[in-house]
Amino acid sequence: MTMMTVTELQEHLSYLGLDQPEAARLLSVTRRTLRRWLEGEEVPGPVEQAFKAWRRLHERKLVWRPDTVAIIEDDQRQIAANRNHTIELSEALQRVEARGGPRMPWLVDRVSCRAILGPMEVSFYKLASGSFSLANYRRRDAYPDVQRDRELIDDATFYIAKEMRKEAAIPVTLVYMDGPNFVGPDGKFGTMRHQEFPTAEAAIERACVLMDGSKGHSFAIREGTTNSTGEFLWNDPELRTENDRRIKAGERMRRPF
C-alpha cells in the first residue's frame, strides 16, 4: 500500500475545511506531528484511514465531525470514539456500495431509533453530533448471528444513514405550490415557491405552519440552495405525517397561518 502523499494530505484538509489546529485535535495528535506529516514524514495508516472515512461521509452529506462540546472541551476520549465510529460507518457503506447497493429495503423509524426488515430489527442511538451508532441487533425467526447477517446489518446501516440525513444541519430548500396545480376560477395556476433554510428542521417547521394554514401543497425539502441541485430528503406525505406526529406528541400546536 502506498503511503499518503503531502499533496493528498493537503487536499484532504482543504476539502474538509480543516485548519491545522482542528485537524490535529480531531486526529488526537500534536500540531507539531501534523506539521511533520505536511513536511513529508510518513502518515500512519490509521490517520489515512480516518481522512478517507471523513471524506466519504462528507461527500455523502453525512455527519463526520464530533459534537461541538467534545471539540470545545477537547474531550479526546469522545473525539477518538467518534473517529472510530466514522471509520466503521464509512466501511459499512463502502461494502454496500461495492456490491451494487442494498439487497433489501429496511423501514427506519427515527423516533423509536430502530430499523426493521421482517423479523429482523437493528436499533441505534442518535449521537450529539447528529450522527448515529448501532446499538442492538435481533431477529425473531432465528438465533442472531452477526457474521451470517453482516450484509443485512450493513443494509440497515445504509438506510439508517440515509434517513438520518433528514436531520442533518445542512442548507436545504423548501419547495411547494402556493396554489392549485390546475387552472383555478381566476384562470391561473399556483406558483412554485422555493425558500432556503439553514437546516431541514427550520424548513420542516415552516412547512408545518403553511400546512396548518392551508397555504400550499405538494411540499418537499431537498438538499442545497435554490441555485444548486440536490437529493430530495422529504416528500409531501412524509412532511404531513411529521406534522401530525409533532402535534400528537405535543411538540407543537396546530395554529392558523
User: Would you state the pLDDT for residue 83?
Assistant: 95
**Amino acid letter for position 254:** R
The model's confidence at residue 135, banded by pLDDT at 50, 70 and 90, is very high
* pLDDT level of residue 169 (50, 70, 90 thresholds): confident
pLDDT at 123 over 90: yes
Domain map (residue ranges) of the chain: 6-98, 107-167, 172-248
- Answer yes or no: are the C-beta atoms of 11 and 53 closer than 8 Å: no
Question: Rounded to an integer, what distance in angstroms lies between the CA atom of residue 106 and that of residue 152?
Answer: 9
The predicted pLDDT at position 7 comes to: 94
| Cell digits of residue 201 | 428542521
Provide the Cα torsion 178, 179, 182, 183; round to 10°. Answer: -130
Give the chain's end-to-end CA distance (angstroms, integer): 60
- Residue 1 neighbours by CB distance under 10 Å: 5
Residue 132 pLDDT exceeds 60: yes
DSSP-based three-state secondary structure for 132: strand
Among 50-59, 137-146, 219-228, name the one with the lowest average pLDDT.
Answer: 219-228
Q: What is the pLDDT at residue 188?
A: 61
Query: What pLDDT, on a 0 to 100 scale, did the predictor assign at position 180?
Result: 62
| Nearest-angstrom CA–CA distance, 22 and 254 | 43
Helices (runs of H) and strands (runs of E) counted in the chain: 9, 8
In this structure, is the dihedral angle defined by the CA atoms of residues 8, 12, 14 and 15, taken in order, positive or negative?
positive
pLDDT the model gives residue 130: 83
Does pLDDT of 99 surpass 80? yes
The residue-averaged pLDDT of 68-86 equals 92
DSSP code of residue 195: E
